[in-house]
Amino acid sequence: MKPYVILNAAMTLDGKIATQTGSSNISGKEDLERVHELRKECDAIMVGIGTVLADDPRLTVHKIDAKPEDNPVRVVVDSKCRTPIAARITNKDARTIIAGANEYKYDFMVSDRYETFKKRGVDFFFSGDKRVDLSLLMSYLHEEGINKLMLEGGATLNFSMIKAGLIDEIRICVAPMVVGGANAKTFFDGEGFDLMDDAVKLELTDSYNLGKDLILTYKVK
């Protein structure tokens, strides 16, 4: 058993989710409100450690009217336990779960950082050897009462999740801009597939204009 996973992101027409310098202000106002409506509907929101280090996100519902209890559980996939103590996802706005890999568990749990995180109410889940076992993480989250999870992962986590067959739906905002850049982050990164025949197949279920942007919804086959 696992949560129903919705991958949500905004990208440029050429498939970039950030420029090579890290700039990622892609969505228009209307899409940002849509994203926060989706956060409000979900039990949890998950990102990778790269997103935490690059953007220091709050991962709360704050672009629309909301109450503190509307904030989803915040999940960080952080194999090496590199989440900064001062990161905003460690505040009291919502519950936070950091998922680490077993190779780094002992050294981290005997550190002062671990004690500080625990005092702040941050929970931990360890699985896998050098990398978090995403399937086991999904099972754990389901056991924790998370039935719908919003994935706002970076490009590497996005690919790892879809390769493992853990994404059910993709909602993508396509902005009318092109940025290029061989080193700019794409929607999916990671090792990729070698053959087109191996690609994950999708079914378009909805599309509509939202302000200047185009919103596409796909089911993962």
pLDDT tens sequence for the chain (221 residues): 999 999 999 999 999 999 999 899 999 999 999 999 999 999 999 999 999 999 999 999 999 999 999 999 999 999 999 999 999 999 999 999 999 999 999 999 999 999 999 999 999 999 999 999 999 999 999 999 999 999 998 999 999 999 999 999 999 999 999 999 999 999 999 999 999 999 999 999 999 999 999 999 999 99
Report which of 106, 103, 149, 102 is spatially closest to residue 127, judged by C-alpha positions: 102
> DSSP assignment, residue 46?
E
pTM, full prediction:
0.95
The CA distance from 100 to 108, in Å, is 10
Nearest residue to 87 (alpha-carbon basis) of 118, 57, 119, 50:
57
Question: How many residues are given for the chain?
Answer: 221
